[in-house]
Amino acid sequence: MDAPSLSLLPHDWFWLYDIPTHRLAILFVASFVGFYWVGCVFLRPILRQFVKYNAGANDIIGYVLSCFGVFYGLLLGLIAVTAYQNVADAGASVTREAAALSALYEDVSRYPDPYGQNLRWLLRDYTRYVIRYAWPLQRRGIIPQEGTIRVDAFHEELLDFQPGTPAEEILHAEALRQFNHFLEARRTRLFSVTSGLPASMWYVMFLGAILTLAICWLFEMRFVTQLVLGGILAAYLGLMMFLIFDMNQPFRGDVSISPEAFESIFQRMNEE
């Protein structure tokens, strides 16, 4: 998983994430099967010229497809695992951030007022911002900027507090430690907003899919059989691509990380 600058899928394609998941899956499968079928009609006759007069061509093509399939399958499998790991990591960072935020809120609740009150207000404000404004931006693949201002405001107020007793000193040190945990998790979340597979991986995957289907066009068999068998393979490739595409952006699409952890904290913060 790479930093935003290396991550492409170009942004021009990000509108695809706005399509509901089941429809997107159908779209991917239909596109791959459609491509294969269109190729069967227009490209297969041309490609078949290369193997037309070779006896036992189907065996050779089958062998090549098997070899190719092993490497390509491995590649797809590893990429799918990586994409899943990316989603899992982003989800873990969100959970860590929410947990640190909750602990921090508890810590500053013990501060004397008005410091305690101001700090609680600032954390509530941050949480509300994350739920209402940051998350919708993340869903659009945009790193939210104004949360940083809220974090700075909290940090400034936290540093402004001068502990007056040993108990306050311990509490303050713990709050600062918790704040650093929170910052770390928050940064990880923000990095994950635009993280994704590098463009080169997408090129290899798509080129690999095209080559796989092109090899299938070389087989000598009845046309209808070709459409059905190749169509099934194309559908499976489409599903794999859909799976990787859908997991590529942890905060985008129907099946993405939700702000539920923050929502539950915010609800508790607002309880009298």
Judged by the rule CB under 8 A, the positions of this chain that interact with other proteins are: 15-20, 23, 26-27, 30, 34, 37, 41, 113-114, 117-118, 120-122, 124-125, 128, 146, 149-150, 152-153, 156-157, 222-224, 227, 269-272
Nearer to other proteins, 19 or 75 (CB): 19
Shortest gap between Cβ of 134 and other proteins (angstroms)?
13
Shortest gap between Cβ of 63 and other proteins (angstroms)?
27
Shortest gap between Cβ of 89 and other proteins (angstroms)?
27
> Considering Cα of 257, then 258, then 259, then 264, what sign does the dihedral take?
negative
Nearer to other proteins, 25 or 243 (CB): 25
Shortest gap between Cβ of 83 and other proteins (angstroms)?
20
Shortest gap between Cβ of 77 and other proteins (angstroms)?
28
Nearer to other proteins, 65 or 123 (CB): 123
Shortest gap between Cβ of 16 and other proteins (angstroms)?
6
Nearer to other proteins, 122 or 240 (CB): 122
Nearer to other proteins, 30 or 170 (CB): 30
Nearer to other proteins, 121 or 191 (CB): 121
